[in-house]
Structure 1
Amino acid sequence: MSPASATAHEWHRVRIDLGERSYPISIGTGLLGDTDSWAGLPRAAAAMVVTNDVVAPLYLEALRSALAPHYPQVHQVVLPDGEAHKDWATLNAIFDALLRHGCDRKTVLFALGGGVVGDMAGFAAACYMRGVPFVQVPTTLLAQVDSSVGGKTAINHPLGKNMIGAFHQPARVVCDLAVLDTLPPREFSAGLAEVIKYGPIADMDFLSWLERNLPALLARDRDALAHAVRRSCEIKAWVVGQDEREGGVRAILNFGHTFGHAIEAGLGFGEWLHGEAVGCGMVMAAELSQRLGHVDAAFVERLTALLRAAGLPVRGPSLGADRYLELMRVDKKAEGGDIRFIVIEAPGRAVLRPAPDAIVRDVLAACTG
């Protein structure tokens, strides 16, 4: 039995509370191919599934079949896979398909894939006819616990990651744990970085649970995965519900991302996976937190050990401090040329702080090469 047609077992629902833009996150097994998963969505004459050439052979037909009872027409556009294609040219391929099929402003887009597909399909939905509904169907662990939730959509610019985008909330997020069975080990580890992130910023009990249950997660135990995805979504829902457009507390979700985005841009998008760069960036951000006097060395080592055990890199590439600083000044959290970082003020609590270049250089000297 394929993962997409697996019988649905116990499932969970997390709600993002944003007034009229509120929506559910469904988490379970066998949801993707279950017709009932798609009931109650906006009515339309057509749906458009946006996916990529890796995911399409695995899950496209199962989703199309499940959507067919709800939409008279189900179109598709299959994009090239990878962060290197998260650009204007690939975005235009989505618009080309929408226009070619005569899609109107009620057409519902379904983002079937990882974070790149979700970001681009969501951005296309935000722009097409000034906004059409879309649904996130994340097929990677990273997308299920982070990028599919919260409405941030974007493409990359050669000078910076996710610099061109919009906030556009999905109508629903459907996380089918069964699709994680086909995720390559490297991609799975990259997703664990975004799971681990939630511990230091918001829930040290969850961090302890991850330390105890990492072997089960790496073995893709369904119960362990269900708890990890659900708790991650609960924390993100709590944060996004307070700050939808990242004007304040939502910035804590970017722990490790300032350093991580610099790694991705500096090496060339796609050389390191996003989760790999974020995992390494968290080590750097923890080291910065220690040097600013907020946490001790034991905390840094604890986090580093967990990331290493998850199969993630914990030392950054040697781009040179000047290059790192140049790239980080393009980060969306920078203001007036000053770089601001998410640091751990105390275990389980994160804040946004500037840091002197001299200290950042010390961190880079200690954590790269």
Structure 2
Amino acid sequence: MRKLDIYEKDFHSYSIYLEKNFSGISEKLKELDCKEQKVLIVTDDHVAPLYLKELEDKIRSSFSAMESVVLPSGEENKTLSHIATIYEAAIAFGLQRKDFMIALGGGVVGDMTGFAAATYLRGIRFIQIPTTLLAQVDSSIGGKTGVDFQHYKNMVGAFHMPCLVYSSMHTLSSLPELQYASGMGEIIKHALIHNPKYLPYLMEHRQGLIEKDADTLLETIYQSNRIKKYFVEKDPFEHGDRKFLNFGHSLGHAIEKVADFSYSHGQCVAFGSLMALSLCAGISEDERKSIEELMQDLSLEVRCKKMDFESVFSAMKKDKKQNKDHLQFILLHHLCSPYIDEALEKETLEQAFYRFVED
């Protein structure tokens, strides 16, 4: 087991636990003093058959009453209409302000449950139990919640910190290859922006990552969580350095939208990271090549399908991360030295984009 504590200013906010299975979760719930409270588990129709009953059996005695709601899976269902489904289930169950919601699933379920918890009765507590690699290293940590609106990713949302994050390695064994690779897109991004020892570790342990070795995965997720912790604690509401976590996201989110979400989020971050690296004067061609090879070894594509740059550029300008009329783009002085560039010309971005697009 590995543990990380997240602080807001000087106060403990919540803990992250990394375990090999669900065996320790009831013990961790004791620190929340939830024995007298109800809990609503929110999951989706992909995760529910795999892990819902197992989780229910482990935590039933930790709460006074328990219900679940199963949503349709997929980014296309990350909408306000499905948030209404969570509200309806919470009202029917009689969930009160001292009660809990649990997000059991990937990033979509986590973001939606967090947003529902942030807005139901003006805010109730929620627990993240991420079941995908992407969610375990990224979306379950830091309190960003939200839904997509008119195909714009996470356009409606709120900051609402979980009260506990519990990541189990055994849920990764059921991940399809594309979803597993998606998590690797965010992991590599972490290694590019912080901790100079992390990228060499990934290079050295790529075979263990390919084989989903539990010990290698636990250490990798722990190191990525440490990086996310560093930026979240430093800048909880993304006014400054936390923006560096958006490396690869400006073009990545736009590609994701223009491709109508046919690519996973982490895959689009990988595309965006390669495009951003090509704009970094302090990154050598050998470094770029080794990063590209690492991505390929971990089943990430390094060339996206042909699409119109004008559509991508238009989507990028409408992204919630942009600052008025200036495109905010995260670049690197060198590996693990990020900065914000607001002076990139459209033509420069276009050249970087087409470098990693199929002919």
- Could you tell me the TM-score, scaled by structure 1's length? 0.93
**Corresponding residue for residue 31 of structure 1:** 22
Q: Secondary structure at the match of 1:187?
A: helix
Distance 1:113 1:231 in 2: 21
Match of 1:116, SS state, is helix
2:260 and 2:151 map into 1 onto residues whose CA distance is 10
1:123 aligns with 2:120: no
Structure 1 match to 2:306: 318
Q: CA deviation at 1:32?
A: 5.6
1:196 to 188, 192, 196: 188
State how 1:343-354 maps to structure 2 within 5 Å. 343-354=331-342
Contact 2:146 2:157 in 1 (8 A): yes
Aligned in 2, Cα 1:152/1:34: closer, same or farther, shift over 3 Å?
closer
Does the CA-based 8 Å contact 2:169-2:214 persist in structure 1? Answer: yes
> What is the distance in 1 between the residues matched to 2:32 and 2:196?
36
Shift of residue 38 of structure 1? 2.0
1:173 to 144, 165, 172: 165
Deviation at 1:88, TM superposition (A): 0.9
User: C-alpha separation between the residues in 2 aligned to 1:364 and 1:193?
Assistant: 17
Partner of 1:63: 55
Moved more, 27-36 or 82-91: 27-36
SS, match of residue 129 in structure 2 = strand
Q: 1:335 aligns with which of 317, 320, 323?
A: 323
User: Which stretch of the first structure deviates more once superposed, 340-349 or 237-246?
Assistant: 340-349
Q: For 1:114-133, what per-residue CA distance to the aligned partner results, in whole angstroms no more than 9, with x for missing partners? A: 00000000000000000000
Structure 1 residue identity aligned to 2:6: I
Q: Does 1:260 align with 2:247?
A: no
Map 1:1-369; keep pairs closer than 5 Å.
Answer: 11-18=1-8, 19-20=10-11, 22-31=13-22, 34-43=25-34, 44-269=36-261, 271-289=262-280, 293-354=281-342, 355-369=344-358
TM-score using structure 2 length? 0.96
Deviation at 1:21, TM superposition (A): 5.8
Report the more deviating stretch, 155-164 or 294-303.
Answer: 294-303
Structure 2: how far apart are the matches of 1:331 and 1:317? 21
Instruction: Give me the CA root mean square deviation.
Output: 1.4
Amino acid at match of 1:50: V
> Aligned-pair distance for 1:76?
0.4
How far is 1:141 from its partner?
A: 0.6
Unpaired runs of 5+ residues, structure 2, are none
Equivalent-residue separation in structure 2 for 1:300 and 1:126 (angstroms): 40
Once the two structures are TM-superposed, the CA of residue 316 in structure 1 deviates from its matched residue by 2.4
Cα distance in structure 2, aligned partners of 1:52 and 1:223: 28
State the match for 1:8 in structure 2.
none
CA distance in 2, matches of 1:85, 1:123: 14
Q: C-alpha deviations, 1:314-338, integer Å up to 9, x for none?
A: 1123221211110100122211232
Distance (whole Å) between structure 1 residues aligned to residue 152 and residue 326 of structure 2: 16
Tell me if structure 2 keeps the 8 A contact 1:87–1:156: yes
How many angstroms apart in 1 are the aligned matches of 2:305 and 2:337?
A: 28
Q: Distance in 2 between matches of 1:255 and 1:152?
A: 16
Gap runs ≥5 in structure 1: 1-10
